[in-house]
Amino acid sequence: MNYVFQFGDVFAAWPLLVKGTLSTIELSMLAMLIGLMVAIGCAWGKTAGPRPLRWFINAYIELIRNTPFLVQLFFFFFALPALGLRWSAHTAALTAMVVNLGAYATEIIRAGIESIPKGQIEAGLALNLKRHKIFQYVILKPALRTVYPALTSQFILLMLSSSVVSAISADDLTSVAANLQSQTFRSFEIYIVVAVIYLVLALSFSALFRVIYRLALHYPDRR
């Protein structure tokens, strides 16, 4: 094997790689935050909502969990504009990621909610707490504490899956890598560097989630 590694062109394009990395972080974090809110709402609806709402949420979850993310992405970017809903590649990518995460995270949070002993809920009612306070402090927070490892794993998987959005020309790290490859033809070197960047991002998100757990979920509420 006489292949000669040449990373010079790759490292020379570091501003583009940094920009792509920041775009991936921004897209992923927005999708995590919005997707988490969608999942909490759907988990509540699935456990305590009226039957028609539960049917709708179940249909949404089954549809998303049994279709490829790439097909979902193409649906939002190519299919919906045919009906008159036009938006940028970035918005389509964010929407697809939120919808995808919402379905998976709903089931994770729902499992956490159902693990809460009914005695705790009855105690909250006995203390005359309002229902939204019971859901927030008695149900949701302990549920998130229980499912936190599975939930953060899903977040990291979402961040790694964001590389697919380059298929619709959304700005992200993989899109930058594809452009560099077409200019320099140093595929091996480019994707080694990109793989390392994704690894660093995954480890960084893991460290961030551990800090969030210690600060927001691990310690008991002192209010």
The token pair at 179 is: 């452009």
Residue 172: what pLDDT?
92
Q: What is the pLDDT of residues 152-206, one digit of tens each?
A: 999 999 999 999 999 998 889 999 999 998 888 888 899 999 999 999 999 999 9
Percentage of residues in the chain with pLDDT exceeding 90? 63
Query: Does residue 187 lie within any of the structural domains?
Result: yes
pTM of the predicted protein model: 0.89
- What's 165's domain CATH number? 1.10.3720.10
What span, in angstroms and rounded, lies between the C-alpha atoms of 117 and 88?
Answer: 45
Q: What is the pLDDT of residues 49-90, one digit of tens each?
A: 899 999 999 999 999 999 999 999 999 999 988 888 888 999
Query: Does residue 3 lie within any of the structural domains?
Result: no
Supply the range of the domain harboring residue 189: 22-218
Query: Does residue 71 lie within any of the structural domains?
Result: yes
Query: Does residue 34 lie within any of the structural domains?
Result: yes
CB contact at 8 A, 31 and 164: no
What span, in angstroms and rounded, lies between the C-alpha atoms of 97 and 173?
Answer: 16
Q: Tokens 């504009």: give the residue.
A: 81
The token pair at 27 is: 């897209």
Task: Indicate the length of the chain as a whole number.
Answer: 223
Q: What is the dihedral of CA 187, 188, 192, 197, to 10 degrees?
A: -10
Q: What is the pLDDT of residues 116-144, one digit of tens each?
A: 888 877 777 777 777 777 777 788 888 88
The token pair at 104 is: 């998976």
Query: Does residue 148 lie within any of the structural domains?
Result: yes
Provide the domain count of the chain.
Answer: 1
What span, in angstroms and rounded, lies between the C-alpha atoms of 126 and 136?
Answer: 16
Query: Does residue 128 lie within any of the structural domains?
Result: yes
